[in-house]
């Protein structure tokens, strides 16, 4: 059985892959440099990059599915910022997969693409941090989880505190760091 809501359960995967990708790319470059054939040294990098692109897509899709519920309890501007960063991260991760895959080439073109892959992987880590940071702010600063906890406890009513800001139970969130 899949957890509900699904988005919070899947968003950690692209973050993990975004952190792993530069490490695996660096390791791949080093072991190829030491004489391991390109296909054996670089296939793990392609696999991590593919996992990053796939899990990023799943995270964006599940986020879009759950957007309406969360909009009821928080400011749309906060959601929009997170969504915008995710919409940068997803195509960048797909582009990264293309660049990383080109790292399988032999000779100078492959070396150039492997170096570009490492640089792009570091950029993806930064953009992934931004997506995760804004997502964390939705939960810990704006109370996005209240879209589900309040609805479950109150039969789907009372999701909005009525303060005009879209924030649910702001007094309960004041003690959070």
Query: pLDDT of the chain along its 177 residues, tens only?
Result: 887 888 988 999 999 999 999 999 999 999 999 999 999 999 999 999 999 999 999 999 999 988 888 888 888 888 899 999 999 999 999 999 999 999 999 999 999 999 999 999 999 999 999 999 999 988 888 888 887 885 544 433 333 443 444 444 444 444 444
C-alpha to C-alpha distance for 22 and 26, rounded to whole angstroms: 6
User: 165 by DSSP, 3-state: which?
Assistant: coil
C-alpha to C-alpha distance for 110 and 140, rounded to whole angstroms: 43
pTM, full prediction: 0.80
| Residue 95 counted as domain residue | yes
> How many domains does the chain contain in total?
1
Q: Which domain holds residue 158?
A: 7-173
| Residue 1 counted as domain residue | no
Q: Which of 50, 70, 36 is nearest to 142 (CA)?
A: 70
* Whether 110 contacts 104, CB under 8 Å: yes
């Amino acid at each position: 059985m899949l957890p509900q809501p699904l988005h919070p359960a899947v968003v950690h995967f692209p973050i993990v892959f975004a952190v792993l990708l530069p490490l695996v790319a660096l390791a791949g470059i080093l072991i190829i440099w030491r004489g391991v054939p390109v296909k054996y040294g670089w296939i793990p990098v392609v696999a991590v990059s593919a996992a990053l692109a796939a899990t990023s897509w799943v995270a964006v899709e599940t986020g879009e599915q759950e957007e309406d519920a969360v909009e009821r309890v928080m400011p749309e501007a906060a959601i929009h910022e997170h969504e915008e960063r995710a919409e940068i991260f997803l195509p960048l991760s797909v582009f990264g997969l293309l660049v990383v895959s080109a790292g399988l080439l032999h000779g100078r073109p492959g070396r150039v693409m492997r170096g570009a892959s490492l640089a792009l992987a570091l950029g993806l880590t930064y953009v992934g941090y931004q997506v995760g940071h804004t997502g964390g702010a939705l939960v810990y600063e704006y109370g996005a989880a209240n879209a589900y906890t309040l609805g479950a406890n109150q039969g789907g009513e009372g999701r909005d505190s009525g303060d005009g800001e879209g924030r649910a139970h702001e007094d309960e969130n004041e003690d959070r760091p």
